[in-house]
Amino acid sequence: MIKSAYIHIPFCEHICHYCDFNKVFLKGQPVNEYLQAMDEEMKLSLAAYPATKLETIFVGGGTPTSLNEKQLSQLCESITRRLPADGQVEFTFEANPGDLSKEKLAIMKQAGVNRLSLGVQTFNDELLKSIGRVHRASDVFRTVEHAKAAGFENISIDLIYSLPGQTLTDLKETLQQAYTLDISHYSGYSLIIEPKTVFYNLMRKGKLPTPGEDIEAAMYELVMEEMDRHGFVQYEISNFAKPGFESKHNLTYWNNEEYFGFGAGAHSYIDGWRRSNSGPLKKYMEHIANGVLPVFEEHHVSRAEKMEEEMFLGLRKNEGVSVMKFIEKFQEDPLKLYENQLNDLIEKGWINVSENAMKLTKKGRLLGNEVFQSFLGVSND
């Protein structure tokens, strides 16, 4: 039974220099019509794939908090009316610091939102400017203070390291500031330069002073050490939490479980099918106006692919892939199926294997993708 839903709000008031997410510039967009269409999509989808009770709802973007108060109320009302959930649900909103007025916080709280995920990236104002963010460090402190005053106890922030011009000392300072917020969860990602971004063009012209691989690896080690020192348990390659505050929603993905995805360009995984919705707003809304689900692409996941996914998604978690769960799901022993690959990875010092679980080592975490690739194409079922 599906336990999770992702809802996509593709609007942003500014476009950041590194961003390749599925988003559009807010000004002039048919936001009200989009919210209406998404309401309809939830209705159509839940009629086709009934769910009894969701355990996680995640509203991401884009920037969900770029909606005005009326639109935010409309969205919250839609979600609570259409999606089956109770007080136990982990209900997350992504937000940009500076976007969260007291009124917006009250609307979310009233609707049952109980987790906020803020796109902070760094506390260095110069770096924030240079990556095209419009908020400043002071906005983060104010936003977190207001969120706490509004009753939000489960707050996460995203940080990005290996930014152009960033030094290890900068990152250390950012982490020091981050811990003063007294919150329960941090995500720390290294910057990836994606095609079609401002940064990509600068990089091609040789004008992007990224710190380089060695500093990047040192930054990741610093993040892991500092998180550990401050009592945050690393539970995934890039995620750290106080015990009990791990993101249940993201664990759905890493546990290779199914989920709904609503909105333009959103992805879903239902009854063994991975689907993506049409991305352009007009196309997305046309489908809905015609009374059909706005599916752009779909792919039935074969048993072999499911096993691969179980490995490379599960290995992202620090607890690794459970051997028992793998056998329960696929009636196949992964220690036998992947014997050669595992032996090779053990020899390289990238993976640890016990009879209960397969886990990345610290070195393996630094090389994630290289390890994951080992499991592709092993089974042909």
Among 8, 23, 359, 365, indicate the residue that binds ligand SF4 (CB under 6 A): 23
Q: Is 12 in the site for ligand SF4 (CB under 6 A)?
A: yes
How far apart, in whole angstroms, are the C-alpha atoms of residue 261 and residue 83? 12
Contact by Cβ (8 Å): 197, 232: no
Q: Is 334 in the site for ligand SF4 (CB under 6 A)?
A: no
How far apart, in whole angstroms, are the C-alpha atoms of residue 152 and residue 330? 40
Among 15, 168, 251, 335, indicate the residue that binds ligand SF4 (CB under 6 A): 15
Nearer to ligand SF4, 155 or 321 (CB): 155
Among 5, 16, 307, 351, indicate the residue that binds ligand SF4 (CB under 6 A): 16
Nearer to ligand SF4, 13 or 69 (CB): 13
Q: How far is the CB of 180 from ligand SF4 (least distance, A)?
A: 24
Cα torsion for 189, 190, 195, 198, to the nearest 10°? 100
Residue of minimal CB distance from ligand SF4? 19
Nearer to ligand SF4, 5 or 12 (CB): 12
Q: Is 135 in the site for ligand SF4 (CB under 6 A)?
A: no
Nearer to ligand SF4, 61 or 334 (CB): 61
Per-position x/- string for 76-105, each x denoting binding to ligand SF4 as judged by CB under 6 A, each - no binding: --------------------x---------
The residue range among 9-17, 237-245, 282-290, 327-335 that interacts with ligand SF4, by the rule CB under 6 A, is 9-17
Residue written as token pair 């330069």: 193
Q: How far is the CB of 320 from ligand SF4 (least distance, A)?
A: 30
Among 19, 54, 111, 208, indicate the residue that binds ligand SF4 (CB under 6 A): 19
Q: How many residues bind ligand SF4 (CB under 6 A)?
A: 11
Q: How far is the CB of 67 from ligand SF4 (least distance, A)?
A: 13
Phi (first) and psi of residue 168, to 5 degrees:
-60, -35
Contact by Cβ (8 Å): 32, 68: no
Contact by Cβ (8 Å): 163, 208: no
The residue range among 14-22, 141-149, 171-179, 325-333 that interacts with ligand SF4, by the rule CB under 6 A, is 14-22
How far apart, in whole angstroms, are the C-alpha atoms of residue 278 and residue 221? 39
Nearer to ligand SF4, 26 or 35 (CB): 26
Nearer to ligand SF4, 22 or 268 (CB): 22
Q: Is 24 in the site for ligand SF4 (CB under 6 A)?
A: no
Per-position x/- string for 33-72, each x denoting binding to ligand SF4 as judged by CB under 6 A, each - no binding: ----------------------------xxx---------
Contact by Cβ (8 Å): 188, 159: yes
Nearer to ligand SF4, 197 or 252 (CB): 197
The residue range among 15-23, 101-109, 196-204, 337-345 that interacts with ligand SF4, by the rule CB under 6 A, is 15-23
Q: Is 200 in the site for ligand SF4 (CB under 6 A)?
A: no
Among 119, 211, 314, 334, indicate the residue that binds ligand SF4 (CB under 6 A): 119
Binding residues for ligand SF4, rule: CB under 6 A, are 12, 15-16, 19, 21, 23, 61-63, 96, 119
